[in-house]
Structure 1
């Protein structure tokens, strides 16, 4: 499973608007944002990596005005962490990732006063992004670039789900990247504060995953941000599968 998930990350970064190939690495560059959570690198699984490769990677980040940062499945490049820390990178986090398969997915009820929809207009996309930003402690307003990015991702096969009230207000949502070799990452599962503790996060996660499998994906994976998220994801059929590393340099 580690190899499939890592290949999914490589494919996702390769689909960025301006990807950069640097030896064994792929750097996913999006000129519309400097976010390190969008602009980062990952190694190709099984590739031999040298200190010179790491130096070239740092130079490539500097050339595009982005902070050097990587995310990858630990087993896909066992020697890489030591090379990166020798080059001044710092481990930001070690996360266990979880996977769900079609036969392990469990449904979860949607709160009665909410509907789960696919955002099809830019206003709906902006409302979804705003709700996600608010839930994660960011600016509640979505920028035109954010909306255009989500629209482009949907056109490429990404899944987006918004939880809306009868009046059209967005209570939260989530999504998944376009599947790569039938594997996709589920991310951005968010619920605004007034709608929490009602099972909405589980309903959103299950619906995003269901839509992925309906479109032909075989594996969905994600990471939990804490014990509450861990319980939500396990409830709908996700199970621990491996470790991912996050490292960055100043």
Structure 2
């Protein structure tokens, strides 16, 4: 492993540990730390404690029990290159592990802004009068985007082909957000620690994504497109815009995790390169 990449992994560990702390309490379980969000918002994960060595299967079991007590998803995240022995331990403790390509941005390779087909790329304004409604709509886009597979089933398979979710389904999935949650997002956006980018159109929001910063490191996450609006390049355009925004804010290391190798190749065309693997663990599905 090159020294440059080794330094990157150290910075990523610090980022993963630092990002939740202003918004969550940390509970230690041996070699793991569980971040429990204070207030509303997406739940956080459990991950290896910095400097604690490889967590044990007993540590994982204890965290899962605590997550169930709190009504939280049994979610674990770590970087394979930093804690390589945890993969086997996690699987032995009953977790399925997604091996997600981990990529970092080469700023010199970042693609320029390109015209957006059928819409406009913009950032949500935390001080705008429509911020709460647009934030809720963007979350509905993400919910539908991540909930639907990227490819339709083959008509030869005999499977029922359902029309991909579009604006009507997005609107039906859009619920009102609490004032506390909106205020929290406004505060984070106003400080520059969190930005949401969207593709807007006459039919409303079609794609979304966010960048989260801690110090001079930022992660791009939640890039999703409404299923009916796929194959227009929206994910690439939003990712590039978020990366450019992070660099303008003084970030020196921008990274992301891709869902699979095909998605990772999309991000390499934007200006990212793969350096490792992000592991995402959750309880193994019960056999049928």
Q: Show the counterpart of 2:143.
A: 133
1:79-118 equivalent positions in 2, closer than 5 A: 79-86=85-92, 88-118=93-123
- Rate the CA distance shift 1:115–1:233 in 2: closer, same or farther, 3 A: same
Matched, 1:218 2:252: yes
- Rate the CA distance shift 1:31–1:78 in 2: closer, same or farther, 3 A: same
Aligned length: 245
Matched, 1:181 2:186: no
1:3-82 equivalent positions in 2, closer than 5 A: 3-30=10-37, 38-49=43-54, 51=56, 53-82=59-88
TM-score w.r.t. length of structure 2: 0.73
- Rate the CA distance shift 1:143–1:9 in 2: closer, same or farther, 3 A: farther
CA deviation after TM superposition for structure 1 residue 70, in Å: 0.9
State the superposition RMSD in angstroms. Answer: 2.8
TM-score w.r.t. length of structure 1: 0.83
* Stretches of structure 2 lacking an aligned partner (at least 5 in a row): 1-7, 126-130, 149-169
| Structure 1: distance between partners of 2:94 and 2:187 | 32
Matched, 1:171 2:206: yes
CA deviation after TM superposition for structure 1 residue 13, in Å: 2.8
Larger Cα Rg: Structure 1 or Structure 2?
A: 2
| Structure 1: distance between partners of 2:223 and 2:283 | 27
CA deviation after TM superposition for structure 1 residue 229, in Å: 2.4
CA deviation after TM superposition for structure 1 residue 69, in Å: 2.5
SS at match of 1:126: helix
| Structure 2: distance between partners of 1:231 and 1:53 | 35
CA contact (8 A) 1:19 1:28 kept: yes
* Stretches of structure 1 lacking an aligned partner (at least 5 in a row): none
1:67-91 Cα offsets, whole Å, 9 max, x none, are 43310001222333344344x2313
CA contact (8 A) 1:47 1:77 kept: no
Q: Show the counterpart of 2:269.
A: 235
Matched, 1:161 2:197: yes
CA deviation after TM superposition for structure 1 residue 126, in Å: 1.5
CA contact (8 A) 1:174 1:205 kept: yes
SS at match of 2:138: helix
